[in-house]
Structures are given as structure tokens and as C-alpha cells.
Copies of this chain bind each other. A is one copy, B any other.
């Protein structure tokens, strides 16, 4: 539900970029590499816990350094955010028109061909 905070966002990026299940330590290392600072592992664990509560990650607690994985792909997540933004808006054509007007030619091409299929 709620939008992600900055660190939560960074952690999700680490999880997504990992592709597979990773530990808090992996996330910690990934964060440190991506940003220019360090975080306590407990901080990372707290955030992972919150992300799990939000349904964005799931954990395997049988393995000893617990493993975390993204529940949905980044693409799924982003697409869902877009749907959420759209919501119940009645003026769909107005929204779509402005949306389409703001994307690159490449993006437009992709959308076009995706709409052809289906």
C-alpha cells in the first residue's frame, strides 16, 4: 500500500537487482556499493521486515542467514503502481493522451506493438 521510503526503495532495488533470493548481508553490501555510506545489518533487517509486512518481499527462514526474495518483479510492481495511479479515473482518454504525449518514441513503439498482440 503506502509508498516506499527512500531506504525501502533502495533495498527493493537491491533485491530486484539480485534476481534471486538474497540475505540481509547481501543487501547491506549492495546498498553500500550503490550509495556512499554504510548501514547496520539490523537496519537492513528492520527494513526487510517492513517490506515483508507490506507484501513486497517474502523470506525463507529455514536457511540460516535468512533469504529474502521479491514477491513481484520490478516490472510487475511498476505496472501495478501505474494501475493504481490510474485508479477509478473517469477521464481515461485524457490521462492516456497526456501519458502517451510524454513518452519517448521507443516507448510508444513498444506500447503500440504490445497493443497489437493481445
Contacts and interface: CB of A to CB of B under 8 A. Distances in A.
A118 to B, nearest CB: 7
A85 B118 CA distance: 24
A100 to B, nearest CB: 5
Interface in A1-17: 2-3
A17 to B, nearest CB: 11
A110 B93 contact: yes
B100 A115 contact: yes
B114 A95 contact: no
Given A78-B85, A78-B86, A79-B96, 13 more contacts: A74-B89, A74-B94, A75-B91, A75-B95, A75-B97, A78-B95, A82-B82, A82-B85, A82-B99, A97-B114, A100-B111, A100-B114, A100-B115
Interface of A: 2-3, 73-76, 78-83, 85-87, 89, 91-103, 106-108, 110-112, 114-115, 118
